[in-house]
């Protein structure tokens, strides 16, 4: 017979408790062996964690990683306002870059050419 979700969930929880108990036993054994080695060899925190080892609030030495070199920040380029190449005389202008503006599209559709709106080079 197939197990229900509730049965499988209960089984998972039971296994998780067993895992935690086994981990706790193993940690206790490892800590005991480490303490014995520290006592036997007379090791100091500086020998274990380095001379600049700092402890956190929980008494454990913090891991310090090497600082990554910082790349200098390049200043942003100043945006250059391009001169208009096309204008319609009512204040609409276009540099000739990017999409053709609506006012010029409408004029082209009405039969005019871009040259009709071209400005003279300074």
Query: Per-residue DSSP letters for the chain?
Result: -PPPHHHHHHHHHHHHHHHHHHHHHHHHHHHHHHHHHHHHHT--HHHHH-TT--B-TTSPBPP--PPPPPPPPPPPPPPPPPPPSEE-SSS-EE-S-SSPPHHHHHHHHTT--GGGTBPPP-
Mean pLDDT across 109-118: 91
Q: Do the domain assignments include residue 14?
A: yes
Residue 30 is assigned to a structural domain of this protein: yes
pLDDT at residue number 108: 92
Of the two residues 43 and 18, the one the predictor is more confident about is 18
Domain that holds residue 41: 5-49
What is the average pLDDT value for the chain, to the nearest integer?
85
Q: For residue 24, tell me if it sits in a domain.
A: yes
Report d(CA 118, CA 86) in Å as an integer. Answer: 4
Residue 91 belongs to some domain of the structure:
yes
pLDDT tier for residue 53 given thresholds of 50, 70 and 90: low
pLDDT at residue 24 in the model: 92
> Regarding predicted confidence, which is higher, 122 or 116?
116
Instruction: Let me know if residue 16 belongs to a domain.
Output: yes
Mean pLDDT in residue range 53-80:
70
Global confidence as pTM: 0.36
| Residue 21 pLDDT > 90 | yes
Q: Per-residue pLDDT averaged across 78-101, rounded?
A: 89
Instruction: Indicate the number of domains in the chain.
Output: 2
Q: What is the share, in percent, of the chain residues with pLDDT greater than 90?
A: 48
Q: What mean pLDDT do residues 54-61 have?
A: 57
- How confident is residue 49, by pLDDT bands cut at 50, 70 and 90? confident
**Residues 6 or more apart in contact with residue 114 via CB below 8 angstroms:** 86, 104, 108
């Amino acid at each position: 017979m197939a197990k229900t979700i509730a049965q499988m969930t209960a089984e998972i929880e039971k296994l998780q408790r067993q895992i935690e108990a086994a981990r706790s036993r193993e940690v206790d054994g490892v800590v005991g062996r480490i303490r014995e080695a520290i006592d036997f060899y007379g090791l100091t925190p500086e020998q274990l964690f380095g001379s600049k080892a700092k402890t956190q609030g929980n008494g454990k030495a913090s891991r310090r990683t090497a600082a990554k070199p910082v790349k200098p920040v390049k200043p942003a380029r100043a945006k250059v306002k391009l001169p208009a190449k096309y204008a319609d005389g009512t204040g609409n202008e276009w540099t000739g870059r990017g999409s053709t503006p609506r006012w010029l599209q409408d004029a082209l559709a009405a039969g005019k050419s871009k040259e009709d709106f071209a400005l003279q080079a300074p």
